[in-house]
Structure 1
Amino acid sequence: MDLENGVSPLCTGLILVFSLVIVGKALGIEWGLGAIAVSIALVFMFSVRYLKRLAVELRSGPGVRSVPTIVLGAGYLGANITRQLATDPASSYWPVAVIDDDPEQCNAQVHRLRVRGGVADLPDIIAETRARALIVAVPDPAPELLSRVHDLVQDQDVQIKVLPSVNELFQGDVRKVDLRDLKIEDLLGRVPVDTEVEKIAGYLTGRRVLVTGAGGSIGSELCTQIQRFAPSELYILDRDETALQQVQLNLTGNGLLTDSNVVLADIRDADAMKRIFGELRPEVVFHAAALKHLPLLEQYPAEGWKTNVLGTFNVLEASRLADVETFINISTDKAANPTSVLGHSKRVAEKLTAWTGEQTGVRYLSVRFGNVIGSRGSMLPTFTWLIQQDKPVTVTHPDVTRYFMTIPEACQLVLQAGQIGRTGEVLILDMGEPVRILDIAQRMIDISGKDIDIVYTGLREGEKLHEELVGYDELLERPFHPRISHARVEPMPVSMLDFADWSERLKHRA
Structure 2
Amino acid sequence: MTEITPAQEAESAAERRDGGSPWRPSRRTWAAFLLLDVAVWLLVLPTAALLRFDFNAYAVEWGPLAAVGVITVVLQLVLGYLTHVYRGRHGYGTFDEVRALALLVLMVSALVTVVLLAVGVMWEVPRSLMLIAGPLALVLMLGVRYIQRIRQERRHGPGEHAEPTIVYGAGVLGDQLLRRMQLDDDSRFRPVALLDDDRQLRNRVVRGVPVLGALSDLDDVVTRTGATQLVVAISAADHHLVKKVADAAAQAGVHVRVLPKLSKELAGHAGLADLRDLSIEDLIGRETVDTSVEDAAEYLAGKKVLVTGAGGSIGSELCRQIQRFAPAELIMLDRDETLLQEAQLETEGHGLLHTRDVVLADIRDDDALTAVFEERRPDVVYHAAALKHLPMLEQYPDEAWKTNVLGTLNVLRAAQRVDVQTFINVSTDKAANPTSALGHSKRVAEKLTAWMGTQTGRPYISVRFGNVIGSRGSMLPTFHKLIRRGQTVTVTHPDVTRYFMTIPEACHLVIQAGAIGTSGEVLILDMGEPVKILDVAERMIAMSGKDIAIKFTGLRHGEKMHEELIGAGESDARPLHPKISHASVQVLAPENLDRVEWLRRMGFEEDAFGARIDEQPTRGSRSVKDDPDA
1:254 & 1:52 partners in 2: Cα distance?
A: 44
Within the candidate set 157, 165, 168, 1:69 is matched to 165
Distance 1:252 1:11, change over 3 A: same
Within the candidate set 569, 575, 579, 1:479 is matched to 575
Q: Which runs of 5+ in 1 are unaligned?
A: 26-45
2:49 & 2:537 partners in 1: Cα distance?
A: 74
- Give the drift of 1:166: 3.3
In structure 1, the residue matched to 2:477 is 381
Contact 2:50 2:56 in 1 (8 A): no
Which residue identity lines up with residue 385 of structure 1 in the other structure? K
Within the candidate set 462, 465, 471, 2:558 is matched to 462
In structure 2, the residue matched to 1:22 is 56
Distance 1:473 1:189, change over 3 A: same
In structure 2, the residue matched to 1:496 is 592
In structure 2, the residue matched to 1:194 is 290
- Give the drift of 1:306: 0.7
Secondary structure at the aligned position of 1:222 is classed as helix
Distance 1:106 1:313, change over 3 A: same
Distance 1:11 1:176, change over 3 A: farther
In structure 2, the residue matched to 1:450 is 546
In structure 1, the residue matched to 2:501 is 405
Distance 1:208 1:114, change over 3 A: same
Deviates more, 1:450-459 or 1:367-376: 450-459
In structure 1, the residue matched to 2:515 is 419
In structure 2, the residue matched to 1:297 is 393
1:452 & 1:23 partners in 2: Cα distance?
A: 86
Between structure 1 and structure 2, the one with the greater Rg is 2
In structure 1, the residue matched to 2:211 is 115
In the alignment of these two chains, the number of paired residues is 491
Contact 1:84 1:177 in 2 (8 A): no
Which residue identity lines up with residue 407 of structure 2 in the other structure? G
Contact 1:365 1:422 in 2 (8 A): yes
- Give the drift of 1:23: 4.8
Deviations 1:274-293 (A, max 9, x none): 22212221111111010000
Deviations 1:287-313 (A, max 9, x none): 101000000100111111111111111
Contact 2:260 2:270 in 1 (8 A): no
Contact 2:197 2:215 in 1 (8 A): yes
Distance 1:156 1:272, change over 3 A: same
Contact 1:478 1:484 in 2 (8 A): yes
Deviates more, 1:329-338 or 1:142-151: 142-151
- Which structure has more RCO (C-alpha within 8 Å, separation ≥ 6)? 1
Within the candidate set 255, 261, 273, 1:159 is matched to 255
Secondary structure at the aligned position of 2:170 is classed as coil
- Give the drift of 1:168: 1.4
- Give the drift of 1:403: 0.6
Q: Do structure 1's residue 147 and structure 2's residue 243 form an aligned pair?
A: yes
Q: Do structure 1's residue 509 and structure 2's residue 622 form an aligned pair?
A: yes
Contact 1:140 1:165 in 2 (8 A): no
Contact 1:387 1:445 in 2 (8 A): yes
Distance 1:284 1:54, change over 3 A: closer
Secondary structure at the aligned position of 2:193 is classed as strand
Distance 1:348 1:20, change over 3 A: same
Which residue identity lines up with residue 476 of structure 2 in the other structure? L
Counterparts of residues 97-496 of structure 1 (less than 5 Å):
97-172=193-268, 178-496=274-592
Deviates more, 1:491-500 or 1:78-87: 78-87
Deviates more, 1:413-422 or 1:384-393: 384-393
Secondary structure at the aligned position of 2:235 is classed as coil
1:106 & 1:393 partners in 2: Cα distance?
A: 44
Indicate the RMSD between aligned Cα atoms, in angstroms: 2.7
Q: Which runs of 5+ in 2 are unaligned?
A: 1-32, 60-141, 604-620, 624-630
Distance 1:246 1:509, change over 3 A: same
Secondary structure at the aligned position of 1:154 is classed as helix
Distance 1:334 1:52, change over 3 A: closer
Contact 2:264 2:270 in 1 (8 A): no
Secondary structure at the aligned position of 1:124 is classed as helix
1:374 & 1:12 partners in 2: Cα distance?
A: 70
Distance 1:48 1:412, change over 3 A: closer
1:353 & 1:403 partners in 2: Cα distance?
A: 24
Which residue identity lines up with residue 300 of structure 1 in the other structure? Y
- Give the drift of 1:250: 1.8
